Amino acid sequence: MPVLPEYNKARAVNPPRSRRTIVLYLAALLGLSWTAYVLFAPSAKLTDAMENAKVKGDQYGLNARPQFKDMIQIQDLPAKYIPETGKHRNSGRLVVVGDVHGMKESLVELLEKVGFKEKRDHLILAGDIISKGPDSVGVVDMAMKLDATVVRGNHEDRIILAHADMMAEHMDLDAPGPSEPTDKVQDTLEEESFSHGDYKDRKLVKALGEKRIKWLKKCPVILRVGSVGDMGEVVVVHAGLAPGVKLEKQDPAMVMNMRTIKHGVPSDERDGHPWIKVRWNGLFIGRLKN
């Protein structure tokens, strides 16, 4: 076996200083990278989740609910209803009310309290004007009479779906109701699917009738009001909007049902982050203007 010269032995035992320096730098860099990951991983994960949510925005609504050709995703409020600013402005107001839920008398009292004038002001009802309360029919009739603009909420959507299901079964809305007890709360249909409503939904469908159901179908999921004074661009929806997703790409089911953002994705559950607080001002408003 050949014997190495003395200087080669020394190099084998003690690597050159430059090589040791590189190794030390790499070790230090690895340590700094690990520290940064530990300190900033939560925000990085949130950013990744939001980026994933933006990608998923292209898929929102494809599988969330049955797709109806007559569903209006976005509607612009006619300019004549938008309050004007300046010395010679129109004195009319926009009065926005949410979740009336069939409480016609309460709605009448509220409009009286704010001094609503039919010929001057315009009423916007932000979804769920029907169900639960005693007079859903009366609320719809009142909204139609006042020429109010109504946003589709999850309860309107549920009734429209129940109506579509009844039509698929060739049920005549003018015919007698199902042969079930009138005090029955729920029918035997599959309740996990929004395409099947319970007995109360079908009863309300019959009470509303074809004319009112047809009117409710014309209510948009998203109402784009436009620029209103110092408020800037105003949009009215029933439940919420996903930050980072353009209005045209919003999942209508989530717009009508969302409560929070979970891992960057809209959710109708309550254990996520409130949707309006998730990077709202910094991310979403800028995208609305694009």
Reply yes or no on whether the pLDDT at 127 is more than 90: yes
Alpha-carbon gap, residue 290 to 286, rounded angstroms: 7
**Quick one: pLDDT at residue 8?**
45
Reply yes or no on whether the pLDDT at 59 is more than 80: no
Amino acid occupying residue 25: Y
103 contacts: CB under 8 Å, gap ≥ 6: 133, 134, 135, 139
pLDDT single digits (tens) 155-199 = 999 999 989 888 887 777 765 555 455 555 555 444 444 444 468
Domain boundaries, the chain: 87-221
**Quick one: pLDDT at residue 7?**
39
Output the pTM of the full model. 0.68
**Quick one: pLDDT at residue 200?**
86
Residues forming beta bridges with residue 227, ordered by sequence position:
233
- Interhelix angle 136-145/199-217, nearest 10 degrees: 10
pLDDT single digits (tens) 30-50 = 555 544 444 444 444 444 444
Which span out of 120-124, 172-176, 181-185, 261-265 was modeled with the highest average pLDDT?
120-124
Q: Quote the mean pLDDT of the chain.
A: 74
Q: How many residues belong to the chain?
A: 290
| CATH of the structural domain 87-221, one choice from 3.60.21.10, 2.60.40.10, 3.40.50.720, 3.30.1330.10 | 3.60.21.10
